Each structure stands twice: as C-alpha cells, then as structure tokens.
A and B are shown apart, each in its own frame.
Chain A
Amino acid sequence: MTRYRKYSRFQLLVSLSALVAASVLLLIPATRTAYLAGFGILGLLGVGEILFNRKGSPLEDERDEAIQRKATTAGFTMLWLGLVGWSLLALFVFSSNGTVPIGVVKPLVPLVWCLMTLTQATWALVLDGRSV
C-alpha cells in the first residue's frame, strides 16, 4: 500500500472520528452544549503529512498529485453544495422568523469541513483503487 493511500485512509478516519465524537457528545445530555468540541479531532489532519512523510521516497508522486487534484475538486464541490444546501435549508425553515438561530449556524463550518475531507479522501481512495 502506498503512503499516499495510507494518508488518505488517515484523513478518512480522522473525519469520521470527528463526526462520531460530535454526535456522541450531542447525544449525551451533560455534554450536549459542548458537542462542537468533538470536531477538534479534525486538528489531527494538520499532522497527517508529518506522520506519513519519510525521507527518501515521495509521499506523493505525479500520479498521486493527479488523483489529489481530482479528489480536491470533488471535495470542494461537496463543500459548496453543503454550504448552499445548508443556507437554503435555513432560509426555508426560518424565513418566517426573519432570523436564523446561532445554534444552526455554529456547526456549519466544521460540518462542511468534515464533508469536504470525507469526500476528498474517499474519492482519492476510489481513484487510487482504479489505478488512474
């Protein structure tokens, strides 16, 4: 297994863990108000390249970069769909009030970030599996 594939799996694992942690915190009454802390796990994405970087051989070669470009495009597509979708949903649900509750807006950034990373990592693994 290439290190790039391992890195993509790591990204997938971190994003899923963040979603699960936030969901668990949301379900427990005592931690409900602090559920956004679960998304703190996303910070691990920042150390991914350090963890998988090894001297001597490249983490990514040109084929991996081609996959990464396609996967990033898919990730950003999901990011924008998530942002627009969430905004439209908020508009339809709360338009009669004239305001959107802050509780609806707060999870938007970490959720959309999770969605983007999940899509990007999944698509990278799919393309790598197809040997693009």
Chain B
Amino acid sequence: MGRKAELGNHLKLQRFLNGNMTQEDLAHRVGVTRQTIISLEGGRYTPSLILAIRLARIFGMPVEELFILEE
C-alpha cells in the first residue's frame, strides 16, 4: 500500500523574493501557461520532474527546497 503524499511548494514566496515576479513571467520562463502556475501555487497540480527542476533553476535553489513532500 502506498502512502498518500502531497507536494507543497514555496513558489509564491520565491516569486515575491525574486523581484515580485509575476505568474505570467514565471510561466513564460518555464514554458507553461499561467493557469499551470496558479494550479501549482494552489497545490492542485503536481508538476512533472522536468518542470520542477526548471522552476528550481529559475530560483537558483534545489528542487527539494522549492517543493516539500508532505506525508
């Protein structure tokens, strides 16, 4: 039986800390729609590993610091 886990993240905080970056800017930089960033920040969508790495690179931090596995 797998344990149910949720993936939290600090996207909103990091956008704020990185010059108040807009969701649109971030979406454009990682090649997704703004709707996806909204869903990610709301915790309603779990990104692919590729997208997670791209986001972490934008903010210059490891993936596991940007995303938190909540079990």
Partner of B45, one of A2, A4, A131: A131
Contacting residues, chain A, for B45 (C-beta < 8 A): 63, 66, 131-132
Total chain A interface residues with beta-carbon distance under 8 A: 15
- Tell me the complex Cα distance, A63–B51, Å: 10
A2 in contact with B33 (CB, 8 Å):
yes
Interchain Cβ contacts under 8 Å between A and B, 24 examples: A2-B34, A2-B35, A3-B33, A58-B31, A58-B32, A58-B33, A61-B31, A61-B32, A61-B33, A61-B36, A62-B32, A62-B51, A63-B39, A63-B45, A64-B33, A64-B36, A66-B45, A128-B35, A131-B35, A131-B38, A131-B42, A132-B39, A132-B44, A132-B45
Max chain A CB contacts within 10 Å: which of B33, B38, B39, B48? B33
B36 in contact with A62 (CB, 8 Å):
yes
Contacts known (A62-B51, A63-B39); A131 close to B44, Cβ less than 8 A: yes
- Tell me the complex Cα distance, A3–B32, Å: 12
Binding site for A on B (CB under 8 A): 28, 31-36, 38-39, 42, 44-45, 47-48, 50-51
Contacting residues, chain B, for A97 (C-beta < 8 A): none
Kindly supply a per-residue 1/0 record for chain A positions 49-60, scoring 1 wherever the CB is within 8 Å of any chain B CB and 0 otherwise. Answer: 000000001100
Min Cβ gap A50→B in Å is 19
Min Cβ gap B27→A in Å is 8
Min Cβ gap A57→B in Å is 7
B32 in contact with A63 (CB, 8 Å):
yes
- Tell me the complex Cα distance, A57–B29, Å: 11
- Tell me the complex Cα distance, A58–B48, Å: 16
- Tell me the complex Cα distance, A3–B48, Å: 21
- Tell me the complex Cα distance, A61–B28, Å: 11
